[in-house]
Amino acid sequence: MVKDMTPPEMQGQGSSAATPGAAPAVSLCLTTLRNRPDFLRAASALRQGTGGFLVQARDRQDGEPAVRVGFTASKKIGNAVARNRAIRRLREVARAILPHMGRPGWDYVLVAKPGVTTLRAFDLLLADLHGALARIHKS
């Protein structure tokens, strides 16, 4: 004889539990650049240096509303651990600032600086990107 191994339902579990609400919608979605030609086109457009990194930006003029962003950290930054740390920090800076200040139809590439991107305070990196975007879109 086989016993039923199902635990008894407690209040708040099973089918009587409330389902969580939908996640809030993001107003502007960021797409990651993956192809070398996209990085090269951004490198030949507008540039703005900051204390923590370099920002390259270009208007794609293709009619697509997506904001695309790419990240670069050369071997000058250090070993793979240091490069990954720099890119993770740049990615978080982009997630915090670009949905609000990035323009639809633009590509942005954030280039890590040796010895600075991994050590600079995060709030200063946020301020760097904010100021760089203000100067890029001012012209």
Q: What is the pLDDT along the chain (139 residues), one digit of tens a residue?
A: 566 666 656 555 555 545 445 444 444 578 999 999 999 999 999 999 999 999 999 999 998 999 999 999 999 999 999 999 999 999 999 999 999 999 999 999 999 999 999 999 999 999 999 999 999 999 6
Angle among Cα 38, 115, 128 to the nearest 5 degrees reads 60
- Kindly list the distances between the CA atom of residue 19 and the CA atoms of 13, 25, 57, in Å, as whole numbers in the listed order: 11, 18, 42
Dump pLDDT digits (tens) for 50-81: 999 999 999 999 989 999 999 999 999 999 99
On whether the CB atoms of residues 66 and 115 are closer than 8 A, the answer is no
34 phi/psi in degrees, rounded to 5: -125, -25
pTM exceeds 0.75, yes or no: yes
Per domain, the residue ranges of the chain are 29-138
Computed on alpha carbons and rounded to an integer, the radius of gyration of the chain in Å comes to 22
CATH tag, 29-138: 3.30.230.10
